[in-house]
Amino acid sequence: MSTEPRSLARRLFEPASIDSQAPVARVLTYVLLSLWTLVVVIPLYWVFITSFKGPGEVDNGPFYLPFVDFAPSLQAWDFMLVQNYTLRPYMNSVVVAVASTLLAVLIGSLAAYALVRIRFQVKLAAVAIFLILLTAIIVAVATFGVRWEIAIVVAAALFVIALFTLVGRTKLAVGNSDIEFWIISNRIMPPIVAVLPIYVMFQQMRLLDTQVALIATYTAINLPIVVWLTRDFFAGIPLDLEESAQIDGASKFRVFFTIALPLVRSGLVATFLLVLILAWNEYLLALFLSNADAQTMPVLVSAQNTTRGPQWWNMSVLITVMIAPVIIISSILQKHIARGLLVGAVKG
């Protein structure tokens, strides 16, 4: 090993060992991380201190430091949390976000596991008949006033009959990769395209302004993300473990719940948190499907933009209340999230 002393340039730009950084690289890393921290923290700080301001401080500002630049006030907090009864929209957001996320993760993980372990061959004729009957249901309910319960029962009966008569005679089929692409393509579609049909459907079902409508919709729109993320998690599980359990007599469901799920729990936690945040912050669908009884927090925040202009102090209170649970949950589940990001990344 050479004992020749390194030059100043090499000591500054080359690491001393394979598991360390060079001094210049370390300084640049900390500078970039500090800048990114400011980008993340300053908006949160500004929202937080704005919640303790009044109209005068907001209009005549900016004021940066409480007790120095301005006298903080709890007027906005009292108005939004006590006088305005924010508890109902907050609880609606909690119930809808948690319930839809649990359903999406459960159904999506089952679908992802099936796509990884089971080979599907879905006849194109069956897909075409399903789409035709679905269109017929929509037309019958929206145009001719047929009750949606009757339309669904009739369409289901016709679909079953078609499966045992026409579909079996065809050969063209789609496989797992086609199904996966179709699933993720549903998420690529802009939500505004589906808002009006969803609104009409729940209007006919008399479920507008209910938590059920929001939970069902959020579950459906977040399923593609769950399937797409958890597919790689399940693909990284050694097949030998599941085959050994099946030899011992375990069913597919038992293998899934007792072997597959525990092995990918970190990935499921990361997926759960991502979908929870998406459901928690969803605005467009909640704006169309809810009014007063099922109103969620994002809709309540936007309602503070009144004819007198944006009520920034009231908005800041609601935003602070909204982001606090997400930050707390992320902090608690940080270890699982870090592991979940790596699950399925290396296959061997």
Q: Where in the chain is the domain with CATH 1.10.3720.10?
A: 85-120+176-347
| pLDDT at residue number 348 | 44
**Contact criterion met (CB below 8 Å) for 279 and 234:** no
Residue 278 near residue 188, CB atoms below 8 Å: no
**For residues 74 and 80, is the Cβ–Cβ distance under 8 A?**
no
Residue 343 binned pLDDT confidence (cut-offs 50, 70, 90): low
Show the tokens assigned to 228: 């797409």
Which CATH fold would you assign to the domain 85-120+176-347? MetI-like fold (1.10.3720)
**Separation CA 248–CA 107 (nearest Å):** 26
Amino acid letter, 258 = T
Residue 306, strand partner residues: 309
Q: In 3D, which of 347, 119, 118 has the Cα closest to residue 233?
A: 347
Residue % of the chain over a pLDDT of 90: 28
Taking the C-alpha atoms of residue 83 and residue 302, their distance in angstroms, rounded to an integer, is 18
SS3 of residue 227 by DSSP:
helix
Most confident of 53-67, 120-134, 210-224: 210-224
- Half-sphere CA count of 78, side-chain side, radius 13 A: 6
Average pLDDT over residues 205-217: 92
pLDDT digit string, tens, across residues 142-180: 788 888 889 999 999 999 998 888 877 888 888 888 888
Residue range 259-269, pLDDT digits in tens = 888 888 888 88
Average pLDDT over residues 115-122: 87
End-to-end Cα, the chain, rounded Å: 36
Q: How confident is the model at residue 307 (pLDDT cuts 50, 70, 90)?
A: low
pTM score: 0.81
The pLDDT-based confidence of 103 (bands split at 50, 70, 90) is very high
